[in-house]
Amino acid sequence: MVNVVLPNGTETLLFPLEEVAVAEIAARNSNEEIYCWKTSGRENWLERGLSIVDVLGIVLMPKGLPQVIDMPDDDAEA
């Protein structure tokens, strides 16, 4: 896991998929929810809950946020 700052300024932890059990424990202990950082092509978004499709990693977010949170798209390659 590594500390990351999301484009909206939220500081959180990024867990690799193989550390999902650790992320679940951390979410329970911090009263947060698991979101999957999803990516497809250049598009990025956070989606509440666990998934294995198009997932870059797992982040913890405060409770009460939307099911899907848009993230900035990757820059187009020159």
The domain total for the chain is: 1
In a domain, 41, yes or no: yes
Q: Domain span at residue 49?
A: 2-71
In a domain, 78, yes or no: no
- Cβ-contact 60, 37 below 8 angstroms: no
What confidence category does residue 57 fall into, taking pLDDT thresholds of 50, 70 and 90? Answer: very high
Average pLDDT over residues 19-42: 94
| Torsion angle (degrees, nearest 10) of CA 51, 53, 58, 64 | -50
In a domain, 76, yes or no: no
Residue 78 above 50 pLDDT?
no
Closest CA relative to residue 47, chosen from 20, 71, 73: 71
Residue 77 above 80 pLDDT?
no
